[in-house]
Amino acid sequence: MRTLEGVPEEWGCSLYVIRLLATVMERAALLDSTPAPETPPWSIAVDPERERMMWWALADRTYEAQLTVEELAEVERIRPAIERHRRSRSPAPDRVPGFKFEGTDTWVVIAQECALIAERLGALDDKVLAHVLEQENESRVDNHNRLDQLTGLAGTVESAGARPQDQLSIEDVRPTLDSWIKYNRLAATRGGYEIS
């Protein structure tokens, strides 16, 4: 993830950590279940390889040199619609679209959503977090790998090997959650961030 304005600030994590944080945000009534909107269509027909190049050019202008004049014109035509699409909002003003956290599809979490995430998660009761972790621990066998992903992101957690079967605990997740809250507070002042 990378902030959009000012000096880019990155917050790296695995897809598992994004999904765990999304589960926590869902329990905190932050995420909605609105389906992702349809991607605006191209108005010209191109083969799959050329279309992939056009998508790359939308994300990174250095690829524009590899486009034909017609393809470049199409990329420039669709760019504003794609930018609006990436910033899609929830119909509920106090929610963030859950689909933004389902993968790495370059969705943009806008500044207002970042502020909402930081505010709600900052006030999250450990009982809610404990309930999420209880379900998470029951749903997976490979907790050791997931624990490594969490502790690798947030720093060393002394209790990491202290529990049988490496069950996730609030002590394991809290540093990551606090780091996520801090990142969202920063991103709220930097135009939001892109999930990629």
Span 119-138, pLDDT tens digits: 999 998 888 888 888 877 77
How far is it, in rounded angstroms, from Cα 192 to Cα 2? 8
29 and 108 both lie in a single domain:
yes
Q: Flag whether pLDDT at 162 surpasses 50.
A: no
Strands of the sheet with 2-3, listed across from one edge: 2-3, 193-194, 108-109
**Enclosing domain of residue 65:** 38-86
- Nearest Cα neighbor of 181 from 129, 103, 137 is 129
99 and 120 both lie in a single domain:
yes
6 and 45 both lie in a single domain:
no
Please say which residue of 58, 86, 114 terminates a domain.
86
Mean pLDDT along residues 54-64: 92
Q: Provide the number of structural domains found in the chain.
A: 2
Bridge-based pairing of strands 31-32 and 108-109 is: unpaired
Q: Flag whether pLDDT at 194 surpasses 50.
A: yes
185 and 148 both lie in a single domain:
yes
CA quadruple 124, 127, 131, 137: dihedral, nearest 10: 100
Q: Flag whether pLDDT at 95 surpasses 90.
A: yes
Residue 137 near residue 57 (C-beta atoms within 8 A): no
Those residues with Cβ within 8 angstroms of residue 177's Cβ, 6 or more apart along the chain or in another chain: 21, 24, 121, 124, 129
93 and 15 both lie in a single domain:
yes
145 and 113 both lie in a single domain:
yes
At residue 167, φ and ψ (nearest 5 deg) are -70, 140
Please say which residue of 28, 52, 86 terminates a domain.
86
98 and 150 both lie in a single domain:
yes
**Helix crossing, 111-122 with 170-188: angle to 10°?**
150
96 and 117 both lie in a single domain:
yes
pLDDT for position 81: 95
72 and 168 both lie in a single domain:
no
Those residues with Cβ within 8 angstroms of residue 109's Cβ, 6 or more apart along the chain or in another chain: 96, 100, 117, 184, 187, 192, 193, 194, 195
52 and 134 both lie in a single domain:
no
Q: Flag whether pLDDT at 157 surpasses 90.
A: no
155 and 71 both lie in a single domain:
no
pLDDT for position 65: 95
52 and 6 both lie in a single domain:
no
